[in-house]
Amino acid sequence: MDFSFTEEQLMIQDVARRIAQEKIAPSAEHHDQTGEFPLENIRTLGENGLMGIEVPAEYGGAGMDPVSYVLAMIEVAAADAAHSTIMSVNNSLFCNGILKYGTEEQKQKYVRAIAEGREIGAFALTEPQSGSDATAMRCKAVRQADGSYVVNGKKSWITSGPVAKYIVLFAMTDQDKGARGITAFLIDTDREGFGRGKTEPKLGIRASATCEIEFNDYVVRADEVLGAEGEGFKIAMTVLDAGRIGIASQAIGIARAAYEATVEYVKERKAFGQPIGAFQMTQAKIADMKCRLDAALLLTLRAAWQKGRFDQGGARFSNEAAIAKLTASEAAMWITHQALQIHGGMGYSKEMPIERYFRDAKITEIYEGTSEIQRLVIARNETGLR
């Protein structure tokens, strides 16, 4: 098995690392404190191909593979998780589904603008009363005689909702069909009938703007349906498989930043006449942190590799993505917890970024499928039981 990366993969990693270190890391504390959306930095990421890493060049993207996406995401997340959240939604949840299920016209209109960083995209599946149970959605789209649809309803916890120009929306078109009655639509937020709620105050990833959105007799044209009527649930689940690779990568970036800061700290901080890294209990923590970090990375790279095969007509990668997301998110939470513990009072202080890593890590266990949902996915795939 060859664990080396190609020149192209290393190139996009270097680009991401440079932007992360020069532009994102210096502003991370400011954005965390203020919750200000980092539009300028997102534009820079887009101009360098990082808002559409897997998007072909003819649609404004970098034309790279899923492994490249993982490597770039890790670098951005290590600098600031909020930036990587925006990057993940644009790449995984928005562009990915349109590339796979959209028409040529839809790709040119919606994907290009997002991939080039000129506009922000979002993904609207969750509702106030339905999170993990997506089939319980109440947002409805009623088909009209001319082929258009009238949409009414609310969606909640929409990442980038306050600033998004375009949104991939999932709405119920036939309640009696359950999951097969869900359809995906492409939404222009400048149109009448669309509204945004207040920006949510969050524990972590604070610069990633999140809000509730509402549709009141919003009209969707026939050419703004993504895929076919009734294919929405299938599209959502396929897109979430890809999204879970993005969140796993984000978790690895957060965990890596916390781990690297801790390794430096235990070599410098002294107690009882020696560096605290010389104590066996500290060494055991460092060893366990490194093992979990490397395990998460390898499982995520495996999932990305499998996605690359899927994109070429291979088998689905749902299980690999769920395993990667579960392992990486729980590793990030555990590693940042240990990092904070080792740093002691300084870890609890906002003078250091450790407490931010800890707060940011928690969301990776929740969005794009909770850890509990990942366990269900994995177990059902393994046993065949539902």
* Domain 233-383 CATH superfamily: Butyryl-CoA Dehydrogenase, subunit A, domain 3 (1.20.140.10)
DSSP 109: I
pLDDT band at 130 (very low <50, low <70, confident <90, very high): confident
Residue 131 has pLDDT above 80, yes or no: no
Architecture of domain 7-120: Orthogonal Bundle (1.10)
Domain ranges in the chain? 7-120, 122-231, 233-383
Catalytic residue among 54, 214, 355, 368: 368
CATH number at 122-231: 2.40.110.10
Candidates 224, 220, 234; CA nearest to 177 is 234
Task: Summarize the confidence of residues 245-270 as an average pLDDT.
Answer: 98
Task: Summarize the confidence of residues 49-56 as an average pLDDT.
Answer: 97
pLDDT digits (tens, 9 = 90+) for 324-367: 999 999 999 999 999 999 999 999 999 999 999 999 999 999 99
Euclidean distance between the first and the last CA atom of the chain, given in angstroms as a whole number: 34
pLDDT of residue 134: 76
pLDDT of residue 302: 97
Q: Which residues 6+ apart lie within 8 Å of 159 measured at CB?
A: 85, 86, 89, 122, 123, 208, 209, 210, 367
Task: Summarize the confidence of residues 33-45 as an average pLDDT.
Answer: 96
pLDDT digits (tens, 9 = 90+) for 375-386: 999 999 999 998
Q: How many angstroms separate the CA atoms of 35 and 314, rounded?
A: 41
Query: What are the tokens at 232?
Result: 């929405």
User: Strands 210-220, 166-172: parallel, antiparallel or unpaired by DSSP?
Assistant: unpaired
Task: Summarize the confidence of residues 154-163 as an average pLDDT.
Answer: 97
pLDDT digits (tens, 9 = 90+) for 211-239: 999 999 999 999 999 999 999 999 999 99
Catalytic residue flag (residue 368)? yes
pLDDT of residue 136: 85
Q: pTM of this prediction? A: 0.96
pLDDT digits (tens, 9 = 90+) for 265-302: 999 999 999 999 999 999 999 999 999 999 999 999 99
